[in-house]
Structure 1
Amino acid sequence: MTTSQQLFEDTTFECSKLITQRYSTSFSLGIRTLDKKFHRSIYGIYGFVRYADEIVDTFHGFDKKSLLDRFRADTYQAIDDKISLNPVLHAFQVVVNGYGIDRELIDAFLHSMEMDLDFTKYNDEKYQEYIYGSAEVVGLMCLKVFCEGDGDSYDRLKGYACRLGAAFQKVNFLRDIKSDFEERGRVYFPGVDFLSFDQSVKREIEEDIQRDFDEALIGIEQLPKGAKLGVKVAYLYYLKLFCKIKNTTPEIITQQRIRIPNARKASLLLATYFGSKLGFS
């Protein structure tokens, strides 16, 4: 690769890094504690999934389906050609081609984004389908990077990666239940009526999420050393957010978005980092 081509590629990953930093404080903190060799690739994955999600959640007043169809076509063209003048797609195709990320994972992710254009209420089947495509496959893409071509490790850990992605997504659903309903007319949880959301329904959802967290932790402890700390930081952040949600009444959750202050996120990062160095986590 020539110096000019390398500069282009480096710049595309810087774009994905900027997107990550602007859109997700918690994800950015987690990436910082990964081994540096993983940073660019995880930024490349996040930039791609973030922008796809923006199409369906943000671009009101535009033809979202047309935009998503174009984004899908451009994504596959970038992967096939191994180049794109769209910096987000160029960085993503480098990761996909470099780590052999299965196209089925990309298909499932883009399908879940398309579901957001059509579905406002989800039954059990569509709920599981959406969670797999919107969250679990993203965890699997990252796992491909972390395993660095070790197929046996990937196969052994992929079930845990799916449970972690599911836990994160379900926490997001609880956190954003107000905005999803009021701004987009969506309720992701099957059979749940936003207007009659009560403690018994909330508790049932929380028990399901807790099972995902418990199973995911088993896999986190088996991750390669360079990936374990960063994933653990993300896990602890979401667990802290989940605990805060559990301690909040349904009435408040349906009225406001629950957050973890940035200072608390930073303290979680430091506690996890030093705990790991001292052998406590």
Structure 2
Amino acid sequence: MGMDAKKLYDDTTFECSKLITQRYSTSFTLGIKTLDKKFHLPIYAIYGFVRYADEIVDTFHDQDKKALLADFKKDTYEAIAKGISLNPVLHAFQLIVNQYQIDLDLIEAFLKSMEMDLDFKTYNDSKYNEYIYGSAEVVGLMCLKVYVEGDQQEYLRLREPACKLGAAFQKVNFLRDIKSDYEERGRVYFPGVDFMSFDKSAKQLIEEDIQKDFDEALIGINQLPTGAKLGVKVAYLYYQKLFDKIKGLPAETITHERIRIPNARKISLLVGTYFGMKLGFS
């Protein structure tokens, strides 16, 4: 394959991951657009990989999910080792894993959490923490690997806040989706929480834990490299806004409906953050 043909193949696979991101997540797409251009394709590639693994677990109910996930896992490691895959999502992902030296143990932890979704219905503290780490914190760490562009010292310095941000996002998602997770999948992620008697005090305890994660994450966001700071700050503010909305609602409301931020509000958040940071307000 000539150099130009190889580049065409690589570029096309990145475009596939970009399309997946755009179709599946308005907020994530908006966040990526505010990153420095050099980070766009790598983050699309990470999102495409994560999204498709998630789809296996959450969507293909008429298939043998365990077998599908096992194949996806084998194909992922094979793609990384060989430096090529005919699955466009895995090809784009392996390019980024190899370029930015993303640790295989992060990928392993992520896939382990996907496997947990097939088996676990209720989580105790240790399983909950393991699941949050694998499903969300490691995704933040993969992105951090891209943002620090090979500076291992920076990576280690910002590792903990990146984990906190991933955890905060995931826990907000759990609160937002508590109804569908329980009704469609029989899952309650929060340890010791019974969906049928989910009340104000249970909700408040979860919210205090999430706010703590947000506060610790913000310290790290403010220390990110310039090209990454704005995009991550937008995602942080979007989730904080969603979280504030959930906090203002009674427990029974979130067990009966999924809470959303309208697209127009997402865009105004993006614009506000963009100009705020450009002018030095945030």
Sort the TM-score into its range (normalised by shorter chain).
over 0.9
In the alignment, which residue of structure 2 is the partner of 1:24? 25
After TM superposition, the score normalised by the length of structure 1 is: 1.00
Structure 1 portions without partners, runs of 5+: none
In the alignment, which residue of structure 2 is the partner of 1:172? 173
- Which SS does the other structure have where 1:280 is aligned? coil
CA distance in 1, matches of 2:209, 2:185: 24
CA distance in 2, matches of 1:49, 1:246: 28
Alignment of 1:68-87 (within 5 A): 68-87=69-88
CA distance in 1, matches of 2:275, 2:103: 35
CA distance in 1, matches of 2:133, 2:24: 22
CA distance in 2, matches of 1:108, 1:262: 32
Deviation (angstroms), 1:220: 0.1
CA distance in 1, matches of 2:62, 2:75: 22
| Cα shift readout 1:138-172 (whole Å, capped 9, x = no counterpart) | 00000000000001100000000000000000000
Letter in 2 for 1:116: D
Letter in 1 for 2:135: S
Structure 2 portions without partners, runs of 5+: none
CA distance in 2, matches of 1:192, 1:66: 31
CA distance in 1, matches of 2:278, 2:253: 38
Q: How many residues align?
A: 281
Letter in 1 for 2:11: D
Letter in 2 for 1:214: D
In the alignment, which residue of structure 2 is the partner of 1:8? 9
Letter in 2 for 1:210: Q
Alignment of 1:15-54 (within 5 A): 15-54=16-55
CA distance in 2, matches of 1:90, 1:143: 20
| Cα shift readout 1:95-142 (whole Å, capped 9, x = no counterpart) | 000000000000000000000000000000000000000000000000
Letter in 2 for 1:198: D
Root mean square deviation of aligned Cα: 0.5
Alignment of 1:1-281 (within 5 A): 2-281=3-282
Deviation (angstroms), 1:183: 0.1
| Cα shift readout 1:169-222 (whole Å, capped 9, x = no counterpart) | 000000000000000000000010000000000000000000000000000000
After TM superposition, the score normalised by the length of structure 2 is: 0.99
CA distance in 2, matches of 1:188, 1:130: 9
